[in-house]
């Protein structure tokens, strides 16, 4: 099957990349904004796919080169005719100060994607708001909550444990406006 790299969507690309990495024995977890894109069916569109892996970039690079992606710098990979770039962030997979305990899996026709659960996706977006004052991150969290089952007790527990009670209250006010 020929891939239309120029018009590929983020879910299909994540499936292709995840399958290629897995075929090379590389476990990788999709994190960040790409999870929001997948869970909201592109109501929010991330332009990159962030993966966490314990494998080295030297191990990852050949798998991506087989797909036509080249290493731009550091941990970033690009393909000229693809609208998305791929980045590898340092392990361990964590949200704020807590390690990720549960991984979701989405099967696509291209491959299975290991990614944050919807609840962890919301916590990840809130972490961007809590730690970097990114107001768009609240909107992204709300987008996921609108269309996915999210454990709001877990979000509250994590938020308070992270020490962001005031910002959690800002989030709660926005949540009530849904």
Mean per-residue pLDDT pooled into runs of 10, the chain (178 residues):
92 98 97 97 94 97 96 93 96 95 97 98 97 94 98 98 96 92
The fold adopted by the segment(s) 5-115 is Beta Polymerase; domain 2 (3.30.460)
Q: What CA–CA distance (Å, rounded) separates 68 from 62?
A: 10
Q: Residues 26-50: pLDDT tens digits?
A: 999 999 999 999 999 999 999 999 9
Distance of CA 33 to the CA centre of its chain: 5
- Tell me what pLDDT residue 178 has: 83
**Pairing mode of beta strands 85-89, 112-115:** unpaired
């Amino acid at each position: 099957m020929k891939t239309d790299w120029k018009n590929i969507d983020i879910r299909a690309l994540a499936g292709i990349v995840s399958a290629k990495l897995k075929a090379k024995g590389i476990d990788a977890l999709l994190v960040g904004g790409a999870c929001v894109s997948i869970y909201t069916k592109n109501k929010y569109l991330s332009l990159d796919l962030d993966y966490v892996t314990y494998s080295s970039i030297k191990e990852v690079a050949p798998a991506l080169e087989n797909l036509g992606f080249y290493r731009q710098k550091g941990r970033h990979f690009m393909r000229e005719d693809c609208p998305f770039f791929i980045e590898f962030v340092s392990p361990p997979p964590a949200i704020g100060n807590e390690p990720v305990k549960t991984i979701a899996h989405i099967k696509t026709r291209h491959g299975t994607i290991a990614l944050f659960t919807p609840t962890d996706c919301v916590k990840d977006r809130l972490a961007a708001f809590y730690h970097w004052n990114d107001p768009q991150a609240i909107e992204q969290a709300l987008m996921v909550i609108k269309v996915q089952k999210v454990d709001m007790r877990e979000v509250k527990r994590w938020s308070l444990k992270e020490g962001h009670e005031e910002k959690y209250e800002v989030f709660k006010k926005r949540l009530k406006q849904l």
